[in-house]
């Protein structure tokens, strides 16, 4: 189980979720934030903190067509090369170490 950030986060970037994440697994794109499912420890701190209720558990996202699209998109954010990058982000081991990514997947950027 992990969490996914849905469309309600686009252009909000409140970052309350980033501040409470104990493992630093929430990465900031250009218009939206993304949770790295391989680094997430499923604590749920981000879900509670989100002011726009954009964060949901992945099993709930799989049942909702729009959220499922964002779940798949979140995987792509880490596993496919983003615009302007030669290689995928993969599992960088912490968002602060990497810094703001500054770009989004085509779903969010478009």
CATH number of the domain to which 44 belongs:
3.30.70.20
Integer Cα distance of 49 and 80 in angstroms: 28
Structural domain contains residue 103: no
Integer Cα distance of 71 and 34 in angstroms: 9
> Considering its fold, how many domains does the chain have in total?
1
Structural domain contains residue 73: yes
- Residues pairing with 55 in the sheet: 5
- 46 Cβ partners below 8 Å, 6+ apart? 3, 17, 20, 21, 26, 35, 55
Overall size of the chain counted in residues: 110
Percent of the chain with pLDDT over 90: 95
Q: What is the pTM of this model?
A: 0.95
Structural domain contains residue 90: yes
Integer Cα distance of 36 and 5 in angstroms: 10
Structural domain contains residue 72: yes
Q: What is the pLDDT of residues 41-50, one digit of tens each?
A: 999 999 999 9
pLDDT at 110: 81
Domain that holds residue 64: 3-98
């Amino acid at each position: 189980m992990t969490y996914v950030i849905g469309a309600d986060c686009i252009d909000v970037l409140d970052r309350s979720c980033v501040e409470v994440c104990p493992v630093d697994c929430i990465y900031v794109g250009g218009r939206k934030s993304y949770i790295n499912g391989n680094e997430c420890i499923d604590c749920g701190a981000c879900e509670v903190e989100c002011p726009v209720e954009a964060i949901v558990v992945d099993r709930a996202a799989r049942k909702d067509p729009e959220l499922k699209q964002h779940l798949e998109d979140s995987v792509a954010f880490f596993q496919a090369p983003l615009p302007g990058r030669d290689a995928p982000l993969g599992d960088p081991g912490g968002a602060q170490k990497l810094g703001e990514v500054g770009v989004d997947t085509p779903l969010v950027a478009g």
